[in-house]
Amino acid sequence: MKIVKKISEIKEIVSNFKKNKKEINLIPTMGNIHTGHLSLLSKANKFDGINIVSIFVNPTQFNDEDDFNNYPNTFEADMEILSKANCSIIFAPSRNQVYPDGIKSEKTVFKYRDILCDLYRLGHFDGVTTIVKILFNLIEPSKVFFGEKDFQQLKIIEQLIFQNNLKIHLIKCPSIRDADGMSFSSRYSTFSKDEKSKFKKCAQIINANLLKLKRDFNHKILDNIEKELRSYGISKIDYFEVRNEETLSLSVNNESSRLFIAFYINKVRVIDNFLLY
């Protein structure tokens, strides 16, 4: 496994792969590698090509300085895990390498915006599309792997590929969940013991109501989840909404729909989504 930190070096590697007609599978991450990330890599292993995992905590997608500063950095442990997971190359550039002209992002994707996380994390998706476009230009992957855990992000990347007419196949990977049914996330690695047990209780509340939503869809059930969470001490809830997974428009029934959730346990933002059909 090779660790590449310089843009010039990754360009040279990519150019050699291209000369040898080798395809590239790209798995973009922000590190703190967990089971969810590894599922993207094992999906990539099902296809021909060289796997490149990028690790870059992208400053332009953070709308909160504290969140950026507290984002877990576990590079050594990540290397250990990835070295055992059939990863050929880690691309882990510095901030200056990625943004030599200063940290800035551009709004280029307008579809699937002004809803869900876009309303609560202003500029976040501009940061996401900016970094993903930089990675696409540098690495020229034929396949790119993104998780359904960040479903709105997935749709926005799909649109980014479509509107730029890129010859990149987006492989959507299902959420990998813990025993309580919640998707793994790097952010949860900072939970204290107390926060962990709060998270578990929230998972129980959500799952009990998920069953009801699946059986007999009703908007009152959404209000109920929020009420139950608030009475349990969760005070910051961004959204609990049921949306169509193709259009991301609000649903009136379960058909092709998912429950999208975002709330906070103290400073940690929990986001997830659940199939309702």
Which residue number, 40 or 221, has a Cβ lying nearer to ligand AMP? 40
Cα angle 7, 150, 122 (rounded to 5 degrees) comes to 80
Instruction: Please pick, from the candidates 30, 92, 221, 276, the single residue that binds ligand AMP as defined by CB under 6 A.
Output: 30
Distance of CA 135 to the CA centre of its chain: 15
Contacts of residue 58, Cβ cutoff 8 Å, sequence gap at least 6: 30, 98, 127, 128, 131
DSSP strand pairing (237-244 vs 169-173): unpaired
147 binds ligand AMP (CB under 6 A): yes
- Is residue 37 part of the annotated active site? The answer reads yes
Mapping DSSP to helix (H, G, I), strand (E, B) and coil, where does residue 114 land?
coil
Q: Among candidates 124, 184, 172, which has minimal Cα distance to 148?
A: 172
54 binds ligand AMP (CB under 6 A): no
Which residue number, 30 or 89, has a Cβ lying nearer to ligand AMP? 30
- Among 74-82, 180-188, 193-201, 229-237, the segment contacting ligand AMP (CB under 6 A): 180-188
146 binds ligand AMP (CB under 6 A): yes
CA Rg value for the chain: 19
- Among 92-100, 112-120, 175-183, 221-229, the segment contacting ligand AMP (CB under 6 A): 175-183
Whole-number Cα distances in Å, 132 to 56, 142, 195, 215, 221: 11, 14, 32, 38, 36
1 binds ligand AMP (CB under 6 A): no
Binding mask 182-201 for ligand AMP (x = CB under 6 A): -xxxx---------------
Catalytic residues: 37
Question: Contact positions toward ligand AMP, by CB under 6 A?
Answer: 29-30, 36-37, 39-40, 146-147, 149-150, 173, 175-176, 183-186
